[in-house]
Amino acid sequence: MNAEEMKRRTKQFALNVGHLVLQLERNDLNRNYNNQIIRSSSSVGANYRGVRRAKSKADFINKLKIVEEELDESLFFLELLHEFNLAKRGLIDKIHIDGEELLKIIVATINTSRS
């Protein structure tokens, strides 16, 4: 997968999370988790754009590590939302799978870059 495709996929991940949040029941629990997941999922795409402007190999790896952390955080909040939103589990699962795929790509890129 090339950098432009990753840029598109990380943006789409944030959009998918946003569309999910708009569909969830309005309650205190969801509001708190939604606020967190919106920040972390949008940070994935924003930070990936920064990866593409890295000034050195070390900077490239460091920026990818931030993307990795934000993806992992997003997956955590998807798991919590999954537990409390039975009616939306199918949609949450699809977004979670996409996030896991992105995370695997990012980790593999980090490992390859370190070699």
Cα torsion through 30, 31, 36, 38, rounded to 10: 100
Domain ranges of the chain: 3-114
Q: What is the largest CA-CA distance in the chain?
A: 47
Q: What is the pTM of this model?
A: 0.94
- Nearest CA to 106 out of 4, 8, 10, 36 is that of 10
Residue in the block written with tokens 């919590």: 80
For the chain, 115 residues long, give each residue's pLDDT as a single digit of tens.
Answer: 799 999 999 999 999 999 999 999 999 999 999 999 999 999 999 999 999 899 999 999 999 999 999 999 999 999 999 999 999 999 999 999 999 999 999 999 999 999 8
Q: Spell out a b/e string for 79-101, using b for 16 or more CB atoms within 10 Å of the CB, else e.
A: ebbbeebeebeebbeebbebbee
- Tell me: the pLDDT tens digits for 14-45? 999 999 999 999 999 999 999 999 999 999 99
What's domain 3-114's architecture?
A: Up-down Bundle (1.20)
Q: Contact, 68 vs 108, CB < 8 A?
A: no
